[in-house]
Structure 1
């Protein structure tokens, strides 16, 4: 029948569109991706309340080994709920591609994600946004300097960078202070001038959540600030700002 891949937006069930709610009410199976991003508290209960449907949770194994999902979609309407936008993560496009190759109809319902909202929330110009960069958990054996390479390349091109912080087993983001220290250590190991302690950055905590907090300042100042950031958390590494961007940042963000 049909596999409907739908984005939940930034606020979980509370940012579902009317069309998405209608599809969920008609669905034979409702699946929720708990692997690729943060799920706001109470999401499952809210989906049940809105749709009257039971929700099946899908982790990494269920999504990566998704043959069962494709087979289920052959004769049923299956809705796969995704945090943020429907297709921001490669995982969901892989599911989509498998379904198309298997002859299963696929419907995609888009929504907001951190990737398409962060720069607007900060008042940054969209044409000055570079490719996002992922910051993983690191250790002595795994310390990918390519993270600093990509951030530096964006800075050299006058582009702002969204630094996506990895999730641990409890679906909590890497601590932003740790991420900033790691980025500086990577840049130092490469002997880069940028990013450095004087580089401007913004920590975006709980974007779209009741506990939303956006704090901006030099990396050195952010490292000395204990604010109590809560997931979901990401970091914007800022290139040179024009006058309008400076004005917007001062109006929309807490400075340190």
Structure 2
């Protein structure tokens, strides 16, 4: 039998009573700490509540899963994890494998830091978009950057988990994560993140020294957020009740504001660049064909395609808008080439 047990977010005291009973009857208890650390005091209390064998579980052991599954076939085994057991996809996969191998599984759920921190910040949970993790390597920040971009475009909030290395006892500092995003912006240039962007740093959620600090990135970089773990949240479109809650439930350095106002969809950015460019090129080439009636239809079609592109974009038909401006650009280039003009000018 294999139990998946969540510890909640407040250490030993948040462990459900049902879970304590299961721990006292288990043959082997695996304590997984790679998703989040457990304090020494809490770890000692959990060991004392365990009557069977207590084993720390490294990431590789849980991901491999063979030892846990082998023991679960003949013994009562518990896999303990911070928060809720199924926030980690690794645990879901392990449970699936267990069921496929005819091993009985049971679950004891508990509060998760992900759901808890959203409420503690005063944000609406249904507005949380895709979650991303920021690692210390700069080259890995492109993915979270575009997760933020897509979420902001849709008005959603982005939860950014920060790298935690259990073996090295390493936690990525939230200020380093913000610096990394600012550096990524310099290369991507989508106007997603700037020093004026609004962000939230949620620290040690669920513990007595919990801290929620929000403000412009430029303001946050001057703060000391204390001991880890930390999570960065980049809000999207803030409802007025969210803004009010942020100011009351935590430390608000700057007045909350909407991050989505400055960020535009890629099609909009493309249209803002190419529509004026194609219009200017069309205007330049028209005098070369003013006495040639056989080309007037082509000139008119190019103008119509430009107008259609703007109308399609306005109607939310982004792909068709891009196609239309592409057709217009192609016609204008052909007309320029026919007169020996450089189409790239």
- TM-score, normalised with respect to structure 1: 0.93
Whole-angstrom distance in 2 between the partners of 1:207 and 1:41: 18
CA deviation after TM superposition for structure 1 residue 108, in Å: 1.4
More relative contact order, 1 or 2 (CA 8 Å, 6+ apart): 1
Whole-angstrom distance in 2 between the partners of 1:156 and 1:237: 12
State the match for 1:183 in structure 2: 181
Whole-angstrom distance in 2 between the partners of 1:90 and 1:28: 25
Root mean square deviation, CA, Å: 1.5
Larger displacement relative to structure 2 (177-186 or 130-139): 130-139
Whole-angstrom distance in 1 between the partners of 2:18 and 2:131: 30
State the match for 2:240 in structure 1: 243
User: Retained in 2: the 8 A contact 1:44–1:55?
Assistant: no
User: Retained in 1: the 8 A contact 2:34–2:164?
Assistant: no
More helix by share: 2
State the match for 2:108 in structure 1: 109
| 2:200 is equivalent to residue 202 of structure 1 | yes
Query: For residues 44-123 of structure 1, what are the structure 2 equivalents within 5 Å?
Result: 44-123=43-122
Structure 1, unaligned runs of 5 or more: none
Larger radius of gyration: 2
> Helix, strand or coil for the counterpart of 2:140?
coil
State the match for 1:25 in structure 2: 24
CA deviation after TM superposition for structure 1 residue 90, in Å: 1.6
CA deviation after TM superposition for structure 1 residue 87, in Å: 0.9
Whole-angstrom distance in 2 between the partners of 1:72 and 1:154: 43
State the match for 1:216 in structure 2: 214
Structure 2, unaligned runs of 5 or more: 254-345
User: Retained in 2: the 8 A contact 1:37–1:171?
Assistant: no
State the match for 1:229 in structure 2: 226
User: Retained in 1: the 8 A contact 2:30–2:79?
Assistant: yes
> Helix, strand or coil for the counterpart of 2:40?
coil
More strand by share: 1
CA deviation after TM superposition for structure 1 residue 54, in Å: 4.6
> Helix, strand or coil for the counterpart of 2:171?
coil
CA deviation after TM superposition for structure 1 residue 38, in Å: 2.0
User: Retained in 2: the 8 A contact 1:172–1:231?
Assistant: no
Whole-angstrom distance in 1 between the partners of 2:157 and 2:48: 40
State the match for 2:7 in structure 1: 8
User: Retained in 1: the 8 A contact 2:32–2:57?
Assistant: yes
State the match for 2:331 in structure 1: none
Whole-angstrom distance in 1 between the partners of 2:174 and 2:30: 30
User: Retained in 2: the 8 A contact 1:199–1:238?
Assistant: no
